[in-house]
Structure 1
Amino acid sequence: MPSGFFDREQTPALLVLEDGRSFRGVSFGAAGEAFGEAVFSTGMSGYQETLTDPSYHRQVVVATAPHIGNTGWNDEDDESSRIWVAGYVVRDLSRVRSNWRSNRSLDDELRSQGVVGIAEIDTRALTRHLRERGAMRVGISTTELDPAKLLAKVRQTPAMAGSDLVADVTLSAAQVLPAVGEKRFTVAAIDLGIKDMTPTRMAERGIEVHLLPASVTLDELTTLSPDGVFFSNGPGDPATADAPMTLLQGVLDAGIPYFGICFGNQIFGRALGFGTYKLKYGHRGINQPVKDLRTGKVEITAQNHGFAVDAPLDKPTATRWGNARVSHICLNDDVVEGLELTDDADNLLAFSVQYHPEAAAGPHDSAYLFDRFVDVMTRRRNGAGDGTGGRAEHNPTQSNPTQSNTDQEN
């Protein structure tokens, strides 16, 4: 089925990095200009979920897989209400879309949402450049084809470090996702840029999820009498997220179980007294190896982050709530991939991971973390330990009610 991209006259496009490196290609998606931070994602599938992930707000994503667009675009796999990437860079845009759920082409969807793309450039060379020099500002244009002039525009755009972007992506008003089947728990989920599959995974486990704006106060949150609090993924520099950090400290003071992912891991680290820092080029893709330091097991994970927590890997840190320690690390570079807070009896009080256990798109190795959250809330409700410290064991056969459509197809 022709996409339409190859049926019209191709328009030249230019990509310029802030260090002056430039690439010429052809336009797809919308015409115009786009600016943001150039990052690369190593996933070979799941581009629809990537493009609609709010964590990619103000980033220009480079696909390292050379062939993109072959499954088109459907109406089921979006992770939010819109495309959030500032621009999209691919090597080879598929000439056909072939999937039984495809409603339109990737090119059509980017054009309809005003997202600028560039194709037919050497994405391998671009990715190697970003690995060597680090993520940096970038511009894509179909209207300014002079590299020097486009470079001047790129250098006027804000850097990702120091950017507070949560207000751009959070809900404007609270929403409720009912539990699937019998309601077991109530969770207050703070939307810092949440993906749709995350509350879905909780609802599948009997959790009524109250999605709350990032501006929610502790008093507003506690009126819900939640059994647990969840902080989502999100864009920007965690060092700017002072209000969410203060809210989380209030949650910990109240003794409410906490689970955070991605940005929620970084805010948890700050709440515990650790710092954060910007990674050279970040972790983005659905094939990142992570080691659980307690069990020694390795999970293949989906990730999207450019910042990390600065915490000691070899010893716990005393806090006013209990002992905080690093629970997971990335096997590629020893970056902190998880934190946990325990009491003196080693019972789990709160925990977080830097990756995406909702797996949309991605592997399902980490789905057990939602069960761990249920276990921590159950133990708090019962007022006693469960013999495992509130840690659900990693069991590959453990129930995972629903897989994302992308994962079922690939």
Structure 2
Amino acid sequence: MSIYNADHAWLMLADGTTYEGRSFGAKGTAIGEVVFTTGMTGCQETLTDPSYFGQITVQTFPLIGNYGTNDDDVESDDIYMKGYIVREWCDSPSNFRATERIDNFLKRHGTIGLFDIDTRALTRRLREHGVMNGVITTEPITPENREQLLAQLGAFVIRDAVDTISTPAQRLYPAHGPRKYRVALFDFGYKRNIRESLRARGCDVLIVPARTTAAELAQLKPDGILLSNGPGDPGENVQVIENLRDIVALGIPIMGVCLGHQLMALARGGKTVKLGYGHRGGNQPVIDFETGRTFVTTQNHGYAVLGDSLDPAIARVSHVNANDKTCEGVEYLDVPVFTVQFHPEACAGPADTSFLFDKFLRMIDKQKEGK
């Protein structure tokens, strides 16, 4: 049977715009923030990226799932997004590593899918009006339930994202090969390949809960600290930000990625702002001020650091987005800390900036030599 004989499904945005398509994945109704990603590959990594917590994700690339899914290319153990929207999904994947169709992958994780809608029109609307809440459902939207759904959309806010998905306990992952350093990786919703990038460079990686304090961290005696990516409004994490002020004072080298970049800026007196439609995908150009080079990066964020809100006596903007000139990196001048908005582990995506993990380890080397 053709996938185009599938049951109907709908998306309604908070402004009342409604799209009717067809259902794949799980059945049901879910409300979330509707965003789009421009990635051409890596749909399984996108689906399992915890930074999509509470969101309904639209793929701008028209055909998704042609190489299927497997047990290896995941960034976490679950799908945290509320819904998944594509123009077309492939029901006959062709890849020697494939073990499952994307439809079954969504069903197994209880994630609602919608296809056979004009994703270009939907993306244009989000670009012109900004991301907005939406409801994805396999139940018909009728005059009787429309107003109730619109009221729910108006009240929906992504809350407690980091606390909801962060690990409740520490977990150690040993280095691949000879051990060089021990790195504490804060779990704000970390991607697995951040962890693996460190392990591949000889680091034992200790995953720690988001609210780990400076006192707790000092007892663990890590050689370095990595602040991970994660979902939600960075300003919501008041206790984490307060903890980071004390953690910086320990003098341990720190690298921040994505949400970790934003949280560090807030801890050092900076400000963040919500972007109109964010940066999501594997084709974001970033200018490195130190070298003058432009790197193509993988990104997934809806907030940005306001570079001019940071005290120039203690911080300098190191990278900016070549498209909209938003802050993409910060070097801190008074402490051994640097942060970036993009994803140097880049799974899926370009590996242009994977050298930043080596920079982080050189910071640890330098501190060890100085002691």
Q: TM-score, normalised by structure 2?
A: 0.96
Question: Does 2:328 correspond to 1:341?
Answer: no
Identify if the C-alpha distance between structure 1 residues 24 and 148 changes in structure 2 by more than 3 Å, giving closer, same or farther.
Answer: farther
Identify if the C-alpha distance between structure 1 residues 355 and 142 changes in structure 2 by more than 3 Å, giving closer, same or farther.
Answer: same
- Alpha-carbon distance in 2 for matches of 1:123, 1:312: 36
Alignment of 1:5-404 (within 5 A): 6=2, 9-146=5-142, 149-150=145-146, 152-157=148-153, 158-160=155-157, 163-312=159-308, 317-318=312-313, 323-343=314-334, 349-383=336-370
Residue pair 2:68, 2:99 contacting (<8 A) in 1 also:
yes
1:298-329 CA-partner distances (Å, limit 9, x unpaired) = 1100000000111229x9622xxxx2111110
Letter in 1 for 2:327: V
Residue pair 2:53, 2:80 contacting (<8 A) in 1 also:
yes
Identify if the C-alpha distance between structure 1 residues 110 and 269 changes in structure 2 by more than 3 Å, giving closer, same or farther.
Answer: same
Root mean square deviation, CA, Å: 1.7
Identify if the C-alpha distance between structure 1 residues 151 and 230 changes in structure 2 by more than 3 Å, giving closer, same or farther.
Answer: farther
Letter in 2 for 1:53: D
- Alpha-carbon distance in 1 for matches of 2:69, 2:298: 21
Identify if the C-alpha distance between structure 1 residues 147 and 283 changes in structure 2 by more than 3 Å, giving closer, same or farther.
Answer: farther
Residue pair 2:35, 2:126 contacting (<8 A) in 1 also:
yes
- Alpha-carbon distance in 2 for matches of 1:151, 1:254: 53
- Alpha-carbon distance in 1 for matches of 2:311, 2:233: 25
1:148 Cα offset (Å): 7.0
1:71 Cα offset (Å): 0.9
Letter in 1 for 2:195: P
1:9 Cα offset (Å): 4.6
- Alpha-carbon distance in 2 for matches of 1:332, 1:159: 30
1:70 Cα offset (Å): 0.5
1:14-66 CA-partner distances (Å, limit 9, x unpaired) = 11000111110001101111210000000011000000000001100000000
1:378-405 CA-partner distances (Å, limit 9, x unpaired) = 1111118xxxxxxxxxxxxxxxxxxxxx
Identify if the C-alpha distance between structure 1 residues 149 and 43 changes in structure 2 by more than 3 Å, giving closer, same or farther.
Answer: same
1:225-283 CA-partner distances (Å, limit 9, x unpaired) = 11111110001100111122122111211111110100000001101111111000000
- Alpha-carbon distance in 2 for matches of 1:211, 1:35: 31
Letter in 1 for 2:352: D
1:203-226 CA-partner distances (Å, limit 9, x unpaired) = 111111110011222211111111
Identify if the C-alpha distance between structure 1 residues 262 and 159 changes in structure 2 by more than 3 Å, giving closer, same or farther.
Answer: farther
1:338 Cα offset (Å): 0.6
Identify if the C-alpha distance between structure 1 residues 75 and 154 changes in structure 2 by more than 3 Å, giving closer, same or farther.
Answer: farther
Letter in 2 for 1:356: H
Residue pair 2:269, 2:311 contacting (<8 A) in 1 also:
no
- Alpha-carbon distance in 2 for matches of 1:151, 1:38: 19
Residue pair 2:3, 2:91 contacting (<8 A) in 1 also:
no
- Alpha-carbon distance in 2 for matches of 1:223, 1:177: 18
1:84-137 CA-partner distances (Å, limit 9, x unpaired) = 111000111123211111111000111121110110000000000000000000
1:342 Cα offset (Å): 1.8
- Alpha-carbon distance in 2 for matches of 1:272, 1:136: 30
Q: What is the count of residue pairs matched by the alignment? A: 370
1:333-380 CA-partner distances (Å, limit 9, x unpaired) = 01110111124xxxx710000011111111000100000100111111
1:151 Cα offset (Å): 5.5
Local SS of the residue matching 1:223? helix
Local SS of the residue matching 2:290? coil
